[in-house]
Amino acid sequence: QDIIFDPNILTIGTGMEEHNNYGVDFINATREIKRLCPGSKISGGVSNLAFSFRGNEPVRRAFHSAFLYHACKAGMDMGIVNAAQVEEDVYEKIDKELLKYVEDVMFNRSPDATENMLNFAATLDPKSKPCALKRKDGSGGPAAPAFVATPRQNVCTVDKIAPKPASELMPVPKYKKWVDPVESSPAFDLINKIMKERIMVIDGAMGTAVQKYKLQEEDFRGERYKNHTHDLKGNNDILVITRPDVVEEIHSKYLAAGADIIETNTFNATMISQADYELDKKEEVYLINKTAAELAKKCCVAFTEKNPDKPRFAAGAVGPTNKTLSVSPSVENPAFRGCTYDEIVEAYMEQVEALVEGGVDMLLVETIFDTLNAKAAMFAIDLFFEKWGKKIPVFVSGTIVDNSGRTLSGQTNEAFWNSMSHSKPIAIGLNCALGAKDMVPYIENLSKAADCWVFCYPNAGLPNAMGGYDQKGPEMAEDCRVFPEMNLINAIGGGCGTTDEHIGCLAEMVSKFKPREKHGVKDLMRLSGLEPFNYDQDEKNCRKTFINLGERCNVAGSSIFKKAIVDGNYEKALAIALKQVENGAHVIDVNMDDGLIDGESAMIRFVNLMVSEPDVSKVPFMIDSSKFHVVEAGLKCSQGKCIMNSISLKGGQEEFLKHARTVKRHGAAVVVMAFDEEGQAA
């Protein structure tokens, strides 16, 4: 459902013999691809159709709408169009004489079709509309010529563009099912088995537990950091080195209370977060994470040995870092970012490697306030699994900031799922942010959208005036009862303010309920900006569900946009994007391929600006370039699930597969262009 084929429409009416019937060929190709690759999508850049008529609005727009009318009947899903014009230019209302000339050219109905079209176009007011045609001098133009088929042209009519009868078609191939080459750890089967049988319990807050020990600066320094130049109090992650007894006791209390899963004390154990304490050195970060993993694993093994029927799991806690990739730290410069995607990926790679070497059973990417940070984490994790040759389960948990149900970076939780689903987490959930009562509708929505296990670990109610949490264990457990009662979850734990008392109460409460049953979801192309965009084609009326890919932020599709980018007027360029959304574009296409433009830097700056404007970024983006590094630069800026346009076999199969794997890691749908080493498909 995330593969989009582009059979590549050429300019119609070139006079070249190989382009005869090109409109018909595209429509037939659409039908055949739909038959051979069920679930795939078809896209076409319909602006190419009328390139020869740029400047003559009625003809150009009539070509677009007429082609869409016929192509959508064949199953075309989307196209790069001017959304407002396509919605306005209803096929049935196009001037009949104009429509005849257009379709004569489009379907090669006459050997003189192109010449007749040019003659007729010359009589028209170039600024009129195809549904309200105006002439330059009031004349009716030349009469439409009679249709005459000639031997030198392979003429087709609209009623003859259907495919051959089914008995003459090649059989639909049996596709080889993809098999993940990376070995799965035994933890997958064990966790899946348990979650089918009962609701698992995750531990509570590490920070809340640490506060009870009233540790001082010397506790955080220990022997290793006694001469460190920066204050370390509050850097809880290093306690696994300086006060491992405290961390071990906290882990053990949660396990004794009934937790199945405990998290390593590594929420801020990346080079990026440790920079606040001047401990942003690889050897320090590695030591913190590996030691934390070994400590948590040691506790789990001890409790599992006591009760083998209740296995315990150590989850490597991977926090969000203290940087955000989707929000500028500068109000004056919304395109600026405090760090890069590649820096975040590198930081997560270092953390994950140490956690895995320390023996964690799974990873928990948690408290996601910016989905792009989480996508970077999953990108790093996937790279590491490929390098390691093995993978362990990954839980992914977002956090919402208020009752709007959105992350700090603005996404709804269904959009969050659409953005993260490519990474195939074993479980998806929400943590912290709200108390249990306020979290219910968002867990319910996530439970409906996700095809994996679902979990939550809310705070101990809402914070008081001092920022603390007053809700006790029994009260929290009662508030959380609604989750299993509604059959929404497979695991539950505690967020801010929770202790082993809260976890004990939760464990007792959920033991009385059955877990949520994992369900399949309809195979749709699910994209996202700040909001979800789930494409469900109406096969009986494809024009009704046609996806308008806005073309005006493409330097080849709009001279005004190109000039704005060349002049550095990004504010004007952003206004063009906003206008497209207001005019009904479902997806915004962005292309910076021009000799006068540094495509990569322009792509980064403009996509960052679009992300910063909620009225634009609510829709998905199509990141479009003939240069793969430019496309990837754009994907690294968007927290939503994008469409990548495009990859092809132009550089050979090896390069194609390499690019396809990278696009998959970024979680984008992909356009496959009909090119190979020998050129464009004929």
User: DSSP characters for 412-472?
Assistant: BHHHHHHHHGGG--SEEEEESSS-HHHHHHHHHHHHHH-SSEEEEE--SSS--TTS-----
Q: φ and ψ at 129, to 5 degrees?
A: -115, 150
Whether 378 contacts 349, CB under 8 Å: no
Query: Is the peptide bond prior to 185 cis by the omega test (within 30 degrees of 0)?
Result: no
Is 487 found in the same domain as 538? no
Domain housing 59: 1-179
Q: What is the mean pLDDT of residues 298-320?
A: 98
Cβ density class 280-311: b for 16+ within 10 Å, e for less: eeeebbbbbbbbbbbbbbbbbeebeeeeeeeb
Whether 35 contacts 519, CB under 8 Å: no
Cβ density class 41-50: b for 16+ within 10 Å, e for less: bbbbbbbbbb
Q: Does some domain include residue 471?
A: yes
Is 72 found in the same domain as 189? no
Region class of 230: left (phi > 0), else alpha (psi between -120 and 50), else beta: beta
Residues β-bridged to residue 200: 491
Give the integer Cα–Cα distance in Å for 682 and 664. 28
Q: Does some domain include residue 330?
A: yes
Is 173 found in the same domain as 195? no
Whether 562 contacts 593, CB under 8 Å: no
Which parts of 6-74 fold into alpha helices (H)?
22-36, 57-74
Is 352 found in the same domain as 365? yes
**What are the pLDDT digits (tens) for 503-532?**
999 999 999 999 999 998 999 999 999 999
CA distance between the termini of the chain: 25
Cβ partners under 8 Å of residue 558, min gap 6: 551, 552, 576
Q: Does some domain include residue 603?
A: yes
Whether 187 contacts 392, CB under 8 Å: yes
CATH classification at residue 655 = 3.20.20.20
Q: What is the mean pLDDT of residues 50-56?
A: 79
Q: What is the mean pLDDT of residues 142-156?
A: 41
Amino acid identity of residue 30, one-letter, is T
pLDDT at 346: 98
**What are the pLDDT digits (tens) for 342-362?**
999 999 999 999 999 999 999
- In the block, residue with structure tokens 């989750």: 483
Is 638 found in the same domain as 551? yes
pLDDT at 159 over 80: no
Question: For the purposes of burial, counting CB atoms within 10 Å of the CB of 14, is it exposed (0-12), middle (13-18) or buried (19 or more)?
Answer: middle
pLDDT at 682: 56
Nearest to residue 194, comparing CAs of 107, 98, 304?
304
Give the integer Cα–Cα distance in Å for 313 and 171. 49
Where does a domain end: 179, 196, 229? 179
Q: Does some domain include residue 520?
A: no
Where does a domain end: 132, 156, 179? 179
Whether 416 contacts 398, CB under 8 Å: yes
Where does a domain end: 116, 146, 179? 179
Give the integer Cα–Cα distance in Å for 558 and 619. 20
Whether 608 contacts 111, CB under 8 Å: no
Amino acid identity of residue 437, one-letter, is K
Q: Range with the lowest mean pLDDT among 130-144, 284-298, 383-397, 511-525?
A: 130-144
Give the integer Cα–Cα distance in Å for 263 and 142. 79
Q: Does some domain include residue 263?
A: yes
Is 679 found in the same domain as 637? yes
Read off the tokens for 399.
């956090």
**What are the pLDDT digits (tens) for 241-258?**
999 999 999 999 999 999
Q: Does some domain include residue 360?
A: yes
SS (H, E, C) 108-132: CCCCCHHHHHHHHHCCECCCCECCE
pLDDT at 32: 87
pLDDT at 371: 98
Read off the tokens for 65.
């709408």
**What are the pLDDT digits (tens) for 66-115?**
988 988 988 999 988 888 888 899 999 999 999 999 888 887 777 788 88
Q: What is the mean pLDDT of residues 399-423?
A: 95
Q: What rounded mean pLDDT belongs to the chain? A: 91
pLDDT grade for 175, boundaries at 50, 70 and 90 = confident
Q: How many residues does the chain have?
A: 682
Is 440 found in the same domain as 409? yes
Q: What is the mean pLDDT of residues 199-221?
A: 98
Give the integer Cα–Cα distance in Å for 131 and 32. 32
Is 172 found in the same domain as 302? no
pLDDT at 154: 42
Is 187 found in the same domain as 175? no
Q: Does some domain include residue 516?
A: no
**What are the pLDDT digits (tens) for 541-575?**
888 899 999 989 999 889 999 999 999 999 999 99
Is 358 found in the same domain as 296? yes
Q: Does some domain include residue 521?
A: no
Give the integer Cα–Cα distance in Å for 94 and 131. 4
Whether 4 contacts 41, CB under 8 Å: yes
Whether 106 contacts 67, CB under 8 Å: yes
Is 175 found in the same domain as 187? no
pLDDT at 146 over 70: no
The SS3 assignment for 401 reads: coil
Cβ density class 109-136: b for 16+ within 10 Å, e for less: bbbebbebbbebbeebebebbbbebeee
pLDDT grade for 17, boundaries at 50, 70 and 90 = low
Is 80 found in the same domain as 30? yes
Nearest to residue 239, comparing CAs of 253, 252, 221?
221
The SS3 assignment for 590 reads: strand
Tally of structural domains, the chain: 3
Give the integer Cα–Cα distance in Å for 214 and 91. 74
